[in-house]
């Protein structure tokens, strides 16, 4: 039976790829770092009638990655399709282009480009001998249309894209297809309110097309379910500006750090939240978390909404003086609940209980203690109030 090896498989896009290719008769070799999650996914696919097996490996451990692919080839009799889409286990260092140092890009190059090269070298000789095969490489669309907030990550992703398209050119006429897939949407759930979203089941057929009917294409860019751009198929539609997101949630993790809890913490929203804007904070506080007193809030969320509250209070105070109607202060009530809730979540982020906000009532020193607490950086790891808001996002693949 033909086989697809998915490097960096996760419960979103990776699982959808296994099901899509499995529905067409391909077995699935699941490669990622977490053995337990791989076993669970393999069991789910088996229950769906798809032959699947787990091969744990870390993308940064080249020997382990190559061994996993060799083991998969030995078990299934070869690998016909390789799909490479590793995802970070924790928020990587993100740098603007002017602040980027060589080391900032180097770590991403090892994670994205060098891992892809190692995986390819493990499977390509057998494909050459057979005169057939497919090599697919996935990145966020920042590899094509970069955004400054993730300059170092985009640089490495662009390198992988460049290499994949060049590989397509080299292998033209050999029977082996090589192509890049750029994903310009959040997968499953919006990374930030209003950001375009697609379900993994909508994206997975793109890979099947590249393997079957579009083998002449070096690249497909998935923007929305109704907008698909490709290299070699005429002019592409105008590209919209994006937020610094569009990443994958997979389980091909770094050798250190805490693994995603079933990928309920994807990279896309973590990057968006790393550069949370005033509008983002207002939307979160006034809609999604209007009266949410549980969980955690990072500093940007608290201070941006506090700014809105101060502006609103100033406007109401000004109107009260000019109209001689102090009761206009009732207009602040809709802002009071989210202001209290975000304050509680901000304290939670630093490991303190919500009642600590009342220290502000202590004369003289109270307000100072309160401001210091609100300005403190949150705990980088999960605490008793939940995971860090810098590491919580929506899955992308």
**CATH code, 82:** 3.40.50.720
Write down the pLDDT at residue 46: 96
- Number of structural domains the chain divides into: 2
Burial letters 293-322, b for 16+ CB under 10 A, else e: eebbbbbbbbbbbbebbeeeeeebeeeeee
Domain check: are 183 and 53 in the same one? yes
Q: Which residues pair with 178 in a beta bridge?
A: 135
Domain check: are 236 and 158 in the same one? yes
Which of 272, 287, 317 is the last residue in one of the domains?
272
Write down the pLDDT at residue 268: 42
Domain check: are 88 and 139 in the same one? yes
Domain check: are 227 and 360 in the same one? no
* Residue 396 in domain: no
How crowded is residue 147: how many other Cβ atoms within 10 Å of its Cβ? Answer: 20
Which of 250, 272, 294 is the last residue in one of the domains?
272
- As averages over each run of 10 residues, the pLDDT of the chain (397 residues) reads 94 94 96 94 95 95 96 97 83 84 92 96 97 96 87 94 97 97 83 73 94 95 62 42 38 27 34 61 83 88 90 73 56 83 92 89 89 86 74 36
Contact 68/55 with Cβ under 8 angstroms? yes
* Residue 63 in domain: yes
- Supply the range of the domain harboring residue 154: 3-272
- Tokens, residue 86: 């590793």
* Residue 248 in domain: yes
Domain check: are 210 and 123 in the same one? yes
Helix-helix angle 299-323:333-349, to 10 degrees: 150
Domain check: are 197 and 147 in the same one? yes
Reported as a single tens digit per residue, the pLDDT across 185-196 is 888 876 655 667
Contact 41/50 with Cβ under 8 angstroms? no
Write down the pLDDT at residue 269: 40
* Residue 106 in domain: yes
Write down the pLDDT at residue 87: 75
* Residue 326 in domain: yes
Contact 210/220 with Cβ under 8 angstroms? yes
Contact 4/222 with Cβ under 8 angstroms? no
* Residue 397 in domain: no
Domain check: are 238 and 302 in the same one? no
* Residue 258 in domain: yes
What is the residue-wise DSSP string for 102-116?
HHHHHHHHIIIIIHH
Write down the pLDDT at residue 232: 47
This prediction has a pTM of: 0.63
Which of 240, 272, 304 is the last residue in one of the domains?
272
């Amino acid at each position: 039976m033909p086989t697809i090896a998915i490097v960096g498989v996760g419960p979103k896009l990776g699982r959808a790829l296994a099901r899509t290719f499995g529905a067409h008769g391909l077995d699935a070799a699941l490669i990622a770092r977490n053995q337990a999650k791989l076993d669970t996914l393999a069991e789910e696919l088996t229950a769906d009638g798809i032959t699947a097996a787990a091969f744990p490996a870390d993308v940064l451990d080249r020997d382990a990655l190559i061994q996993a692919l060799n083991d998969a080839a030995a078990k299934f009799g070869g690998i016909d399709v390789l799909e490479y889409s590793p995802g970070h286990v924790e928020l990587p260092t993100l740098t603007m282009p002017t602040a980027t140092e060589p080391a900032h890009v180097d770590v991403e190059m090892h994670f994205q480009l060098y891992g892809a090269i190692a995986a390819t070298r493990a499977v390509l000789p057998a494909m050459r001998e057979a005169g057939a095969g497919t090599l697919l490489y996935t990145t966020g669309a920042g590899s094509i249309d970069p955004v400054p907030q993730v300059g170092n990550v985009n640089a490495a992703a662009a390198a992988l894209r460049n290499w994949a398209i060049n590989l397509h050119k080299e292998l033209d006429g050999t029977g082996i297809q090589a192509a890049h897939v750029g994903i310009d949407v959040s997968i499953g759930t919006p990374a930030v309110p209003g950001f375009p979203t697609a379900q993994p089941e909508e994206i997975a057929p793109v890979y099947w097309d590249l393997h079957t009917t579009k083998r002449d294409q070096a690249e497909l860019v998935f923007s929305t379910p109704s907008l698909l751009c490709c290299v070699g198929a005429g002019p592409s539609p105008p590209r919209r500006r994006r937020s610094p997101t569009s990443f994958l949630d997979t389980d091909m993790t770094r050798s250190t750090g805490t693994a995603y809890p079933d990928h309920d913490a994807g990279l896309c929203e973590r990057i968006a939240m790393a550069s949370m804007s005033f509008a983002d904070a207002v939307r979160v506080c006034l809609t999604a978390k209007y009266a949410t007193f549980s969980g955690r809030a990072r500093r940007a969320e608290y201070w941006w909404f506090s700014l809105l509250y101060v502006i609103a209070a100033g406007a109401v105070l000004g109107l009260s003086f000019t109209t001689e109607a102090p009761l206009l202060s009732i207009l602040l009530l809709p802002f009071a609940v989210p202001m209290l809730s975000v304050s509680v979540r901000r304290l939670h982020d630093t490991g303190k209980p919500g009642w600590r906000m009342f220290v502000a009532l202590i004369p003289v020193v109270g307000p100072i203690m309160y401001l210091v607490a609100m300005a403190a950086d949150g705990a980088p790891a999960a605490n008793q109030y939940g995971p860090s808001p810098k590491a919580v996002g929506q899955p992308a693949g």
